[in-house]
Amino acid sequence: MAFESAGSELSLRRLAGAAGIAVETAAGYLDACESAYLVFGVPYFAYSERKRASRNKKYYPIDTGLRRMVVTRTGEDHGKLLECAVHVALRRRGVPVFYWRGKGEIDFVAETSQGIVPIQVSSEPISERHHRAVEEFYETFPHALEAQFVGPDEYERGVLDALTNAL
């Protein structure tokens, strides 16, 4: 289920209910998957540890090929694959990453020595929805650095490499 819901908040209660196991057991399984480097949890961005801990994590597989083998859908979900690839690239460079959600969602919030950077990922052209989410993020965190938008072209041209090198 963590592979299927890659890039979405994952409720331990929902996972436990779907698997017919206790919430504590589901938490243990997710911890084991993280320890085995199958998935990585991305926490909610907040300066308050209490707020951060009260929200569900988003989970991303370390291997998008394994995800494609496990999640059997007709057609490909290019958006989730790109988001997973961006997560892996950020993580590989040691950038602490989070997500943020208000009315809209920021896919990643990179925490750097210069400040926080909102990052929006989309396999489609960047839409008004992405811009509204960034505006809402800036209302909450006006000190954040310039937002980065990553699509397939930017990813392939190495914009992500340039971004993470600058971070």
What is the structure's pLDDT at 164? 60
Q: Residue 146 domain-assigned?
A: yes
What is the structure's pLDDT at 75? 46
Tally of domains within the chain: 1
Q: Residue 2 domain-assigned?
A: no
Q: Tell me which residue range forms the domain holding 51.
A: 9-166
Q: What is the mean pLDDT of residues 26-37?
A: 89
What is the structure's pLDDT at 145? 94
3-class state of residue 10 by DSSP? strand
Question: What digits encode the pLDDT tens for the residues 122-137?
Answer: 988 888 999 999 999 9
As a whole number of angstroms, the distance between CA 69 and CA 54 comes to 32
Q: How confident is the model at residue 154 (pLDDT cuts 50, 70, 90)?
A: confident
> Do the Cβ atoms of 6 and 84 come closer than 8 Å?
yes
pTM of the model: 0.84
